[in-house]
């Protein structure tokens, strides 16, 4: 495993999350004047205590279907985004596509959450392989001047229609991302309850 992968793995580990939570608690003590002049040591010590007391992440040797699928989806997404440039699309379209790609990458980084929600995985897959490329392809095949011109007072231009579709995708994918993040938050709450049950009061109270 590359060094960067090890760093990313640790940043998302239970030990780092709990240690960071206790360190934040130390900063709170400093800000209210309870940590004294040695607050950096207090903060560092609390982080170390949290990292040491947190249970290790579960060892997983099997590769789930979601992990295999998300890896290929990331490759498909990167290939799609690389084709969306200012030469073919207006800047506001490129910006929206990049924003959508960011949301999708965040979701795909949480393969385990998608494993327990095949419906969400299906929507993400369709967004990358069907919904998004179909909308972009239909627009790209139009002459630029035609795409930017309205055909009537109440009729959208092709550009406006594409923006509307991208906004709809953003709304739908943001809902999925929120559901995934809530799962991460619940994991932190569960860890907080574990620490309180075992060691008493904690600054991790949520």
Average confidence (pLDDT) over 150-162: 81
More confident residue, 196 or 25: 25
Average confidence (pLDDT) over 177-187: 72
What's the confidence (pLDDT) of residue 63? 47
pLDDT digits (tens, 9 = 90+) for 97-137: 999 999 999 988 887 777 667 788 888 899 999 999 999 99
What's the confidence (pLDDT) of residue 204? 43
- For the chain, what is the mean pLDDT? 79
What's the confidence (pLDDT) of residue 147? 83
Cβ atoms of 120 and 66 within 8 Å: the answer is no
What's the confidence (pLDDT) of residue 184? 58
DSSP string, the chain: --HHHHHHHHHTSHHHHHHHHHHHHHHHHHHTT-SGGGHHHHHHHHHHHHHHHSPPPPP--S--HHHHHHHHHHHHHHHHHHH--TTTS-HHHHHHHHHHHHHHHHHHT-HHHHHT-HHHHHHHHHIIIIIHHHHHHHHHTS-HHHHTS-SSSSSPPHHHHHHHHHHHHHHHHHHHHHHHHHHHHHHHHHHHHHHHHHH---TT--
More confident residue, 181 or 71: 71
Q: Is the backbone of residue 36 left (phi > 0), alpha (psi -120 to 50) or beta?
A: left
What's the confidence (pLDDT) of residue 59? 58
Considering only the C-alpha atoms of the chain, give the largest distance between any 2 of them, rounded to a whole number of Å: 70
Give the separation between CA 119 and CA 104, rounded to whole angstroms: 15
% of residues, the chain, pLDDT over 70: 74
In this prediction, residue 38 has a pLDDT band, given cuts at 50, 70 and 90, of confident
Residue whose pair of structure tokens reads 């299906």 in the numeric block: 122
* Helix pair 132-140, 91-108: axis angle to 10 deg: 160
């Amino acid at each position: 495993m590359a060094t960067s992968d090890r760093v990313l793995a640790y940043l998302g580990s239970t030990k780092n999350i709990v240690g960071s939570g206790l360190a934040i608690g130390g900063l709170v003590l400093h800000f209210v004047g309870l940590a004294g002049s040695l607050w950096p040591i207090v903060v560092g010590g609390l982080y170390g205590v949290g990292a040491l007391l947190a249970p290790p992440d579960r060892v997983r040797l099997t590769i789930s279907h979601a992990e295999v699928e998300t890896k290929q989806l990331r490759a498909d997404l990167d290939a799609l985004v690389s084709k969306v440039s200012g030469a073919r699309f207006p800047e506001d379209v490129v910006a929206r596509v990049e924003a959508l790609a960011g949301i999708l990458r965040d979701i795909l980084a949480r393969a385990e959450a998608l494993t327990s929600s095949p419906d969400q995985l299906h929507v993400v897959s369709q967004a990358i392989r069907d919904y998004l490329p179909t909308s972009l392809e239909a627009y790209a095949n139009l002459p630029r001047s035609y795409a930017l011109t309205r055909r009537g007072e109440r009729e959208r231009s092709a550009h406006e229609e594409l923006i509307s579709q991208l906004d709809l995708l953003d709304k739908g994918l943001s809902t999925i991302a929120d559901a995934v993040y809530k799962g991460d938050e619940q994991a932190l709450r569960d860890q907080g309850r574990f620490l309180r049950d075992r060691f008493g009061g904690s600054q991790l109270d949520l």
